[in-house]
Amino acid sequence: MPAVLNRADPRLLDAERLIQQRLGDRRLDFDSMLAVSNIYRAATAVRRRAEKGVLSEFGLSWGGFTTLWVLWVWGEMQTADLAEECDLSKGTLTGVVKTLERRGFVKRSQVASDRRRVTVALTDAGIDTIEGLFPRFNLYEGEMVRELSITEKQTLAELLRRVIVTADAP
């Protein structure tokens, strides 16, 4: 997990040796460690980059963008479905939607047939925003993986997909 594990310098070997020393006889699964820690570091780097670049111009966080995007593609949704599709807890989604509502990007409506339920939909301003933003965001995504060939992007996505399935399994 620390930055040093990915530097192409002798400290990497130092780090591995130090870790093994701390561990004594216990065995160390270095390949798994590096794979998992790189997933996390890549996600952090990619998210920070997006939020500082494209997203900040539109006053959106990563979660806010995701929510807007899902609503744009799928249209008006009930909050429970929206939370699942955005991979957020329902409590978190309440807050994200509240922020988006304050910014004027979405609106809530109560469902007549079941008054516990609430749907969320984009406003016109929300539609304008996501339509202006998404092409730029997609370019940014391309930038983030510009060192990878198409095949490598697909490999990366597929390997990650298998990790997601494993980690999400009950």
Partner DNA sequence: ATGATTTCGTTTGCTACCAAACGGACTATA
Partner DNA sequence: TATAGTCCGTTTGGTAGCAAACGAAATCAT
Q: Which of residues 16-35 bind a second copy (CB under 8 A)?
A: 18-19, 22-23, 26, 28-29, 31-35
Q: Is 52 in the site for a second copy (CB under 8 A)?
A: no
β-bridge mates for residue 34, sequence order: none
Q: Name the amino acid, one letter, at 89.
A: S
DSSP 76: S
Whose Cβ is closer to DNA: residue 71's or residue 88's? 88
Q: Could you tell me which residues come within 8 angstroms of residue 120 by beta carbon, excluding any fewer than 6 positions away?
A: 71, 76, 77, 78, 79, 82, 97, 106, 107, 108
**Contact pattern from residue 104 through residue 123 relative to DNA, giving x for each residue in contact according to CB under 7 A and a dash for the rest:** ----x----xxxxxx-----
Window 77-116: residues binding a second copy (CB under 8 A): 84-87
Q: Is 2 in the site for DNA (CB under 7 A)?
A: no
**The two three-digit tokens of residue 167, written as one number:** 């980690």
Whose Cβ is closer to a second copy: residue 38's or residue 110's? 38
Q: Is 144 in the site for a second copy (CB under 8 A)?
A: yes
Identify whether the C-beta of residue 81 lies closer than 8 Å to the C-beta of residue 97. Answer: no
Q: Which stretch binds a second copy (CB under 8 A): 12-20, 92-100, 103-111, 118-126?
A: 12-20
Nearest Cα to Cα of residue 125 among 53, 70, 83, 72:
72
